[in-house]
Amino acid sequence: MMQLDDLDRSILRLLKKDARLTISEIAEKLNRPESTIHFRIKKLLEKGAIDHYTILLGEALQPKKVALVVLQAETPIIEDFLERYVNHIMRTLAMLSNVLFVAKSGKDTVMALIGGENEESLEAFIDENIKTLPTLKGVHVYFIDDIKKGEELIGFLVDV
Amino acid sequence: MMQLDDLDRSILRLLKKDARLTISEIAEKLNRPESTIHFRIKKLLEKGAIDHYTILLGEALQPKKVALVVLQAETPIIEDFLERYVNHIMRTLAMLSNVLFVAKSGKDTVMALIGGENEESLEAFIDENIKTLPTLKGVHVYFIDDIKKGEELIGFLVDV
């Protein structure tokens, strides 16, 4: 991983909270010359410490309830087909706009983060769109009831 | 959820990709007057469609391997203590800088997203720092091997 000093970290933390801060505002907050801040941000971008500037969508656009779904694909008789099964499950999930995140674990497990209005509508969605996938062995649904760290990820992942 | 029209969505999508775009750049891309774009962004901020402007940290600062850990707390003899057990687990996890996300599901389940250099170091970290928590009944580790949708969440969640 890239080495950062305290000034780099301070700049990154300020920009994470508000990426609209100007160079001169950051310079003032950190009590450093504008030229230093300008140079550091240039370097942070060049070295890939900052990927890009973005916006976090607010609560008005976020699903009210989120569930993590862990799916296990059936092991087919012809074992080479397992990868196809898993890829099909991932592609199908990724196409759905209220599916915020899709990832694979090991050879047969798929994880997805799914948003909805409430537990009932999420359950209905999972029953109709996920449990009906033909190559599934098991589905485990974890409704997320309270986020202690990283809560903002919902606003980051939501589609518009 | 808030109602957005096509112009709102187009603006939000452009800002998600690059929040440094100026009003006039957005106006040009969407072939609308600057005053319209200015007004719409003002409204999107006021109505909470945009929470805030932020940066996404790049690969240079991201953990190379991530695991989702699902923990189940032991049910204590005095059932009222379960909430304390779960809160203790969540607090402990949230304090660790390579723990990117911590959430609760139901009464006894905690989920955490943990970053590390590779599977071995992640396994060692989980053995030393998580499996040793005294009030745990079960720990399931899912190494994330391939992200199909929402990949950028790692750069969003990582600490500096």
Q: What is the pLDDT of residues B3-48, one digit of tens each?
A: 899 999 999 999 999 999 999 999 999 999 999 999 999 999 999 9
Is the pLDDT at A30 greater than 70, yes or no?
A: yes
Long-range own/partner contacts, residues A7-13 (CB < 8 A, 24 or more apart): A7/A32, A7/A36, A7/A40, A8/A40, A8/A44, A8/A49, A8/B160, A9/B160, A11/A37, A11/A40, A11/A41, A11/A44, A12/A44, A12/A49, A12/A50, A12/B55, A12/B57, A12/B160, A13/B160
Report yes or no on A53 lying in a domain.
Answer: no
Whether B5 has its CB under 8 Å from any CB of chain A: the answer is no
Report yes or no on B52 lying in a domain.
Answer: no
Q: Give the tens place of pLDDT for each residue, B70-128.
A: 999 988 888 788 998 899 999 999 999 999 999 999 999 999 999 999 999 999 999 99
- What is the total count of domains within chain A? 2
C-alpha angle with apex B32: B31 to B34, nearest 5 degrees?
125
Same domain, yes or no: A108 and A144: yes
Q: Under an 8 A CB cutoff, do A56 and B60 touch?
A: no
Same domain, yes or no: A34 and A99: no
Looking at the partner chain, which of A20, A59, A102 has a beta carbon nearest the beta carbon of B48?
A59
Residue B80 has what pLDDT? 82
Same domain, yes or no: A108 and A38: no
Question: CATH number, domain at B137?
Answer: 3.30.70.920
Same domain, yes or no: B118 and B149: yes
Name the 3-class secondary structure at B81: helix
Looking at the partner chain, which of B49, B70, B155 has a beta carbon nearest the beta carbon of A57?
B49
| Residue A33 near residue A27, CB atoms below 8 Å | yes
Residue B1 has what pLDDT? 60
Q: Give the tens place of pLDDT for each residue, A99-149.
A: 999 999 999 999 999 999 999 999 999 999 999 988 899 999 999 999 999
| Residue A121 near residue A141, CB atoms below 8 Å | no
Residue A89 has what pLDDT? 93
* CB contacts, 8 Å: B93 with chain A: 148-149
Over residues B66-71, the mean pLDDT reads 96
Is the pLDDT at A85 greater than 80, yes or no?
A: yes
Same domain, yes or no: A124 and A68: yes
pLDDT band at residue B159, thresholds of 50, 70 and 90?
Answer: confident
Residue A133 belongs to domain spanning: 59-157
Looking at the partner chain, which of B8, B55, B90 has a beta carbon nearest the beta carbon of A148?
B90
Q: Give the tens place of pLDDT for each residue, A37-77.
A: 999 999 999 999 999 999 999 999 999 999 999 999 988 88
Is the pLDDT at B142 greater than 90, yes or no?
A: yes
pLDDT band at residue B58, thresholds of 50, 70 and 90?
Answer: very high
- Search chain B and give the residue with CA nearest A9: B160
Is the pLDDT at A95 greater than 80, yes or no?
A: yes
Looking at the partner chain, which of B53, B68, B94 has a beta carbon nearest the beta carbon of A111?
B68
Same domain, yes or no: B84 and B149: yes
Report yes or no on B142 lying in a domain.
Answer: yes
Whether A105 has its CB under 8 Å from any CB of chain B: the answer is yes
Query: And the tokens for A2?
Result: 């890239």
Same domain, yes or no: B64 and B40: no
Is the pLDDT at A1 greater than 80, yes or no?
A: no
Same domain, yes or no: B70 and B13: no
- Its ipTM equals 0.91
pLDDT band at residue B156, thresholds of 50, 70 and 90?
Answer: very high
Residue A53 has what pLDDT? 96
| Residue A105 near residue B145, CB atoms below 8 Å | yes
Query: And the tokens for B74?
Result: 């032991």
pLDDT band at residue B149, thresholds of 50, 70 and 90?
Answer: very high
Question: CATH number, domain at A23?
Answer: 1.10.10.10
Report yes or no on A32 lying in a domain.
Answer: yes
Residue B74 has what pLDDT? 87
* CB contacts, 8 Å: A111 with chain B: 68, 142, 144
